[in-house]
Amino acid sequence: MGILREIAGYGRLLHENKFVIGAGGNISARDASAIVIKKKGADMSLGRARDYVRLPFSEAEKGGDMLSSETPLHIACYNARDDIGAVVHVHSPYIVAAAGRIDILGSVSYEFDCILQKAVPVIEYIQPGSFELAAAVAEKIKQGAGAVLMRRHGAIAVGKDLKEAYLRTLALERACVTFLHST
């Protein structure tokens, strides 16, 4: 399966599982020396490969009207660690709610331990799309986090590939639901 079709499929799954609505959220994958990322304004519910673009990292770093506003956030995650092959950014209500109530999300289940492995840090609200947000998230990723909660915004999950980043997103959502129902 081509990378554009694969990423479009995971984007559609994010929408079907209510992690994003409309053009919200984004997903990307590393493809050799290039990034494949959702285009600005694209609706992941449609599952269309044409809603994603493949660009060399050097070109994506320059930005542009067709790129997601969170492109700097994705690039910062890839630059933080060489083992990252995919990044998922979502705005789930459970994730946003949990991030507003804690400073760190510790293990709530065996599933959390297996998939997320470490406590998930929470960062304060920083303007979405900003280089400041990208730097703050990248710092947590450099420290080994597999996911980061962002107050009033959502979360980032990273993985060696799209499947792992997606599974970490699912596990993070379930952990946030469990946390919210247990407090």
Which pLDDT score is estimated for 1? 58
| H or E stretch at 36 | strand 34-38
pLDDT tens, 77-108?
999 999 999 999 999 999 999 999 999 999 99
Residue 183, pLDDT > 80, answer: no
- pLDDT bin (cut points 50, 70, 90) of residue 32 is confident
In this predicted structure, which of 60-64, 97-101, 114-118, 139-143 has the lowest mean pLDDT?
60-64
What CATH fold (topology level) applies to the domain 3-182? L-fuculose-1-phosphate Aldolase (3.40.225)
pLDDT tens, 126-169?
999 999 999 999 999 999 999 999 999 999 999 999 999 999 99
Residue 22, pLDDT > 90, answer: no
Mean pLDDT of 4-14: 95
| Structural domain boundaries in the chain | 3-182
DSSP letters, 103-171, are SEE---SHHHHHHT-SPEEEE----TT-HHHHHHHHHHHHTT-SEEEETTTEEEEEESSHHHHHHHHHH
Averaged pLDDT score across all residues of the chain:
94
A 10 A CB-CB count for 72 gives 22
Q: What percent of the chain has pLDDT over 70?
A: 99
Residues 10, 157: Cα–Cα separation, whole Å: 13
- CB 48 within 8 Å of CB 8: yes
